[in-house]
């Protein structure tokens, strides 16, 4: 008797969720920018995070069922940018505790250099301005992206969606310490804009443009590329490709022919859970070996931005004490970095100051992350 009651309750809940999504998704047919807002509490709250994740799971099935109905009506608008989803957060403050946790995690590494066969646990501190280039994504943008994914107007199912690439730009000066003062004028405003769907041979590409402003000026920008494995039935839509292979080949060539440095770095089994506590991305492929296998991986994989951040701490500072530099960074997450594992970090810097970096497997035969930095 109780089992039947529970089955009826669950069935009703699923039906309500389905029709709620069905009606909500119709708003994505309207052209224009769909605006949402987030507060400091929304960004920091663990309860808010779990609500966001639960919301994504609840509408995952309705999204899959309704995918072709929605996209057949609104594909042109989504692909042209006539429909976009924007989330704004104003007067946001990064706490010293958050920043310190990020710095400690990415700086504490187990490495093996060329002149030694022993593994050493060391602190490899990242240059201050380089940390300012990467940290906003981990502490702010990732959390707002999750909220965008959970919005009912976003039509794509999220299970199987892959983080493909980032283009970071630090416009400087951006001193994170200024946010700790008790005047609201020195806090940051954050904006993320999800837009521009494109058909890819493996699914659908979409982009999220992010901005961090301080005292009325943009100090940091980022373009993030995602690949959803949802398939389109309309074969008349042109297919676009990403320059990932060409980009990676160029980086490999620069490192092979340049004055490169190499070291080995270990990524422990719990690095996914440790980084999830900082960025609040508790995707099970990063935190649960069992669920990672359910999604087609042999074990957990590291967050791409975590791997990049730890590798960047091994670079020698180019301009010590210069925290206002203008940085640009392009990174492709080429293949999953399974954990635990040992990796080979390769990098070289040209005379013009451009740096090339690869994170490969221990033997250097398979690339996980390819990155270039220009200052």
Q: In the prediction, which pLDDT does 324 show?
A: 52
Distance CA(73)–CA(83), nearest Å, equals: 12
The gap from C-alpha 201 to its chain's centroid, in whole angstroms, comes to 22
Q: In the prediction, which pLDDT does 306 show?
A: 93
Q: Please report, for the chain, the start and end positions of each structural domain, with discontinuous segments joined by +.
A: 25-374
Q: In the prediction, which pLDDT does 1 show?
A: 63
Neighbours of 373 (CB within 10 A): 22
- pTM of the full structure: 0.85
Q: For residue range 50-102, what is the model confidence (pLDDT) as tens digits?
A: 777 777 777 777 677 767 767 777 778 878 777 888 888 888 887 778 888 88
Query: Rounded to 5 degrees, what angle do the CA atoms 195, 48, 86 make?
Result: 20
For domain 25-374, give the CATH superfamily: Hotdog Thioesterase (3.10.129.10)
Query: How far from 188 is each of 96, 175, 217, CA to CA, in Å?
Result: 14, 11, 10
Q: Is 138 left (phi over 0), alpha (psi -120 to 50) or beta?
A: alpha
Neighbours of 41 (CB within 10 A): 9
Q: In the prediction, which pLDDT does 68 show?
A: 72
Q: In the prediction, which pLDDT does 178 show?
A: 42
Q: What is the mean pLDDT of each run of 10 residues along the chain (375 residues)?
A: 70 61 49 80 74 73 71 77 84 81 88 78 81 87 86 80 91 56 60 89 90 87 90 78 92 88 91 89 86 85 92 74 72 92 91 88 92 89
Neighbours of 8 (CB within 10 A): 10
Residue 177 is classified by DSSP as G
């Amino acid at each position: 008797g109780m089992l039947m009651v529970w089955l009826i309750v669950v069935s009703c809940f699923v039906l309500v969720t389905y029709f709620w999504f069905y009606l909500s998704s119709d708003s994505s047919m309207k052209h224009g920018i769909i605006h949402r807002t987030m507060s400091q509490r929304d960004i920091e709250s663990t309860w808010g995070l779990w609500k966001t994740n639960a919301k994504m799971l609840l509408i995952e099935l309705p999204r899959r069922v309704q995918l072709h109905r929605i996209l057949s009506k609104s594909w042109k608008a989504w692909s042209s940018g006539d429909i976009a989803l924007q989330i704004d957060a104003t007067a946001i403050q990064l706490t010293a505790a958050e920043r310190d946790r990020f710095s400690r995690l990415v700086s504490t590494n187990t490495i093996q250099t060329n002149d030694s066969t022993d593994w050493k646990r060391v602190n490899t501190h990242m240059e201050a301005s380089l940390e300012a280039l990467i940290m906003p994504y981990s502490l702010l943008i990732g959390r707002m992206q999750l909220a965008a994914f959970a919005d009912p107007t976003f039509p794509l199912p999220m299970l199987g969606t892959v983080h493909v690439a980032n283009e970071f730009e630090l416009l400087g000066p951006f001193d994170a310490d200024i946010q700790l003062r008790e005047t609201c004028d020195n806090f940051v405003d954050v904006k993320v804009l999800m837009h521009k769907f494109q058909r890819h041979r493996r699914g659908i590409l979409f982009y999220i443009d992010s901005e961090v402003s301080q005292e009325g000026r943009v100090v940091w920008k980022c373009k993030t590329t995602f690949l959803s494995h949802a398939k389109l039935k309309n074969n008349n839509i042109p297919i676009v490709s990403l320059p990932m292979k060409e980009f990676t080949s160029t980086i490999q060539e620069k490192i092979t022919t340049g004055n490169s440095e190499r070291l080995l770095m270990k990524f422990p089994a719990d690095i996914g859970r440790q980084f999830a506590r900082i960025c609040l991305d508790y995707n099970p492929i990063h935190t649960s070996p069992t669920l990672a296998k359910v999604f087609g991986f042999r074990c957990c994989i590291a967050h791409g931005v975590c791997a990049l951040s730890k590798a960047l701490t091994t670079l020698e500072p180019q301009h010590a004490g210069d925290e206002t530099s203008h940085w640009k960074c392009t990174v492709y997450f080429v293949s999953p970095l399974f954990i635990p594992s040992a990796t080979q970090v390769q990098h070289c810097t040209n005379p013009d100051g451009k740096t090339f970096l690869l994170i490969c497997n221990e033997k250097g035969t398979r690339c996980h992350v390819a990155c270039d930095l220009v200052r």
